[in-house]
Amino acid sequence: MTNQEIIAKLPYSKPFLFVDEILHINENGVEGTYYFDENLDFYKGHFKDNPITPGVILTEVMAQIGLVCLGIFLLDDSFNKATSIALTSSEIEFLKPVFPTERVTVISEKIYFRFGKLKCKVIMKNKKGEEVCTGTIAGIMVSKSEIN
């Protein structure tokens, strides 16, 4: 599966798609990027006259690149429209702010993938290579029929 095919399989669309490109992916991890356009809606109110990317959005970027893209790659052909992905836990430490017009790189390393649960150590870096947040994120991938 190509990197573009993985992005196309993501269950998100603009304005909630936070993956621009996958730089590298294999069975042990993934590296990808996202650019924070200054016109994104959440900047209008977070914070007045001093826009900063909300931590929940940084967590979502880390999860989409570091967990969901890797999960799609690991499931390969068994990932389809009948598959659902849910975040089960996250522990993120925020170290530096991310401002509008910044491009970030997310680097994820698989801790384990078994019984449909994927857990990863995820780091987000800014263009200077500085860590802006780090932590662990876990999610479960199941058939949508198992949820209903």
pLDDT tens, position by position, 28-47: 999 999 999 999 999 998 88
Domain 3-147 carries which CATH code? Answer: 3.10.129.10
Active site residue 24: no
Is the full-model pTM beyond 0.85?
yes
Mean pLDDT of 59-73: 97
pLDDT tens digits for range 108-130? 999 999 988 999 999 999 999 99
Q: Give the residue from 32, 42, 38, 40 showing the smallest Cα distance to 14.
A: 40
Active-site hit among 20, 21, 23, 46: 46
pLDDT tens digits for range 52-64? 999 999 999 999 9
Look-up: residue for tokens 């993938």?
113
**So what's the pLDDT on residue 84?**
79
Concatenated DSSP letters of 3-67: HHHHHHHSS--TTS----EEEEEETTEEEEEEE--TT-GGGGTSSTTS----HHHHHHHHHIIII
Q: Give me 8's structure tokens.
A: 């196309």
